[in-house]
């Protein structure tokens, strides 16, 4: 690509892309906001697992809403992947069989449920965004716009799907989101069609350079505007062992940081992957699921699919000053609601279960190298609050 070069140990200086480069990459050059600079305490970011949510958790007797609302109330940015297409007047016909166990459709109340615990920015780039055809993508965008919920990863055309989503508050925060793998024919955005910001893979297994260039250009432009940038990938190019992180994803995450992202987060694999640091910035290669309302038969997934983490970051002056991970346990048994079994509701993990999740993340991270140190698990408050572990560059 050649747009970035390093100087010193941690500084990256952009070699500015030309207007021709940006337009060829499908990036709008009109989206840059006037930055709002954070003051006082660091910017607090919470990164949740993916949300496959088809039923409003509040209607099924979910008792943990207040616990998550309390946990997240001090965060300025609360992010998840909306792995559900929203049914609405713009939605098209199902692109999967009507009785498919992997047809992920919900009504707008599922967005309200996520907002009830504080979620304020979501990725929409995933392999289910097209479950109701291109109209479903438009219907989801419409529902998000009506609720003033920031998002990135799909759009009315390629430029819109590629552009960052901006959240303005104590600081200008940008999300750049893409999906790789399992994006079916007709689901990817084009210059004239609504769809997903897809990173395609060539016959040699490498990502298409033009797609990577478009992704990195959006990060670079958002960072140049003064925004704090989160880079996101929904990956379905899985390794034989799903918990292993592909080498190409690790490279993409590093390039995202070089382009200006303060963190990289990934979903897609229905279980956790490791964490690593690059130049002092955390790369969360697999956060697992925050909500996992899978309709597959019991036993289709192992116990790892029902574990996840929340990553909490404090960012100040362009640096990640503090980071911790909080283990989350999902309900694999489920509850019956309106005649159907609803599984995958989250709760804060406790005791031995929490330690098991933290230990698993540590093992998966160690397999990526020695770039991360895990603190001892602690409980916030006096025998209350979530179990968590601090993480840092080793």
- Checking if the pLDDT of 25 tops 80, the result is no
Q: What is the rounded average pLDDT of the residues 186-202?
A: 98
pLDDT at 85: 98
First to last CA, the chain: 30
Band (370; pLDDT cuts 50, 70, 90) = confident
Nearest in space to 50 (alpha carbons), one of 269, 324, 316: 269
Buried b (16+ CB within 10 A) or exposed e, 374-394: beebeeeeeeeebbbbebeee
pLDDT in tens, 310-351: 999 999 999 999 999 999 999 999 999 999 999 999 999 999
Q: What is the rounded average pLDDT of the residues 356-373?
A: 95
pTM of the model: 0.94
pLDDT in tens, 251-309: 999 999 999 999 999 999 999 999 999 999 999 999 999 999 999 999 999 999 999 99
Residue ranges in the chain assigned as alpha helix (H): 19-24, 65-72, 109-116, 133-146, 158-162, 209-224, 247-259, 351-366
pLDDT above 90: percentage of residues in the chain: 86
Cα dihedral 190, 193, 197, 202 sign: negative
pLDDT at 40: 79
Query: Other CB atoms closer than 10 Å to residue 9's CB: what's the count?
Result: 7
Mean per-residue pLDDT of the chain = 92
pLDDT at 31: 60
Query: Other CB atoms closer than 10 Å to residue 8's CB: what's the count?
Result: 7
Domain parsing of the chain, residue ranges: 43-392
**CB distance 139 to 108 below 8 Å:** no
pLDDT in tens, 47-62: 999 999 999 999 998 9
| Integer Cα distance of 190 and 302 in angstroms | 37
Query: Other CB atoms closer than 10 Å to residue 110's CB: what's the count?
Result: 24
- Specify the CATH architecture of the domain 43-392: 4-Layer Sandwich (3.60)
CA distances from residue 101 to 122, 321, 324 in whole angstroms, order as listed: 24, 42, 35
Q: What is the rounded average pLDDT of the residues 196-212?
A: 96
Token pair 């809403």 is at which residue?
A: 65
Torsion-angle region of residue 127: left (phi > 0), alpha (psi -120 to 50) or beta?
Answer: alpha
| Integer Cα distance of 262 and 257 in angstroms | 6
Bridge partners (DSSP) listed for residue 89: none
pLDDT at 22: 60
Q: DSSP character for 280?
A: T
Nearest in space to 123 (alpha carbons), one of 265, 306, 288: 265
Dihedrals φ, ψ of 128, to 5°?
-110, 0
pLDDT in tens, 73-89: 999 999 999 999 999 99
8-17, 106-115, 174-183, 241-250: least confidently modelled range: 8-17
Band (30; pLDDT cuts 50, 70, 90) = low
């Amino acid at each position: 690509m050649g747009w970035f070069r390093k100087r010193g140990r941690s500084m990256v200086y952009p070699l500015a892309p030309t207007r021709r480069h940006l337009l060829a990459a499908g990036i709008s050059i009109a989206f840059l906001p006037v930055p709002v600079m954070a003051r006082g305490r660091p910017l607090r970011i919470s990164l949740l697992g993916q949300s496959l949510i088809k039923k409003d958790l509040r209607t099924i007797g979910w008792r943990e809403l207040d616990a998550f609302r309390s946990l997240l109330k001090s965060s300025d940015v609360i992010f998840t992947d909306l792995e559900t297409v929203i049914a609405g007047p713009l939605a098209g016909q199902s692109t999967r069989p009507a009785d498919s166990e992997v047809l992920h459709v919900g009504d707008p109340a599922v967005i309200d449920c996520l907002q009830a615990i504080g979620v304020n920015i979501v990725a929409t780039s995933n392999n289910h965004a097209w479950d109701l055809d291109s109209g479903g993508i438009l219907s989801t965008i419409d529902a998000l716009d009506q609720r003033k919920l920031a998002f990135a990863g799909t759009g009315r055309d390629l430029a819109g799907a590629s552009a960052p989503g901006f959240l303005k508050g104590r600081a200008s925060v940008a999300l750049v989101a893409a999906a790789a793998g399992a994006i079916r024919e007709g689901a990817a955005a084009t210059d004239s069609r609504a769809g997903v910001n897809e990173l395609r893979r060539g016959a040699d297994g490498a990502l298409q350079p033009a797609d990577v260039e478009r992704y990195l250009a959006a990060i670079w432009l958002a960072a140049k505007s003064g925004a704090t940038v989160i880079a996101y990938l929904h990956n379905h190019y899985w390794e034989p062992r799903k918990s292993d992180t592909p080498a190409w994803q690790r490279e993409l995450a590093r390039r995202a940081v070089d382009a200006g992202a303060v963190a990289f987060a990934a979903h897609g694999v229905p279980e956790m992957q490791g964490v690593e640091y690059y130049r002092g910035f955390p790369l969360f290669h697999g956060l697992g699921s925050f909500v996992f309302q899978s309709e597959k038969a019991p036993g289709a997934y192992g116990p790892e699919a029902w574990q996840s983490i929340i990553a909490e970051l404090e960012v100040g002056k362009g640096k990640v000053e503090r980071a911790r991970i909080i283990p989350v346990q999902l309900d694999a048994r489920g509850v019956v609601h309106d005649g159907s079994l609803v599984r995958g509701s989250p709760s804060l993990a406790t005791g031995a279960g929490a330690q098991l999740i933290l230990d698993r993340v540590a093992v998966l991270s160690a397999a990526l190298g020695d770039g991360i140190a895990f603190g001892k698990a602690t409980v916030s408050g006096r025998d209350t609050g979530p179990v968590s572990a601090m993480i840092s560059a080793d």
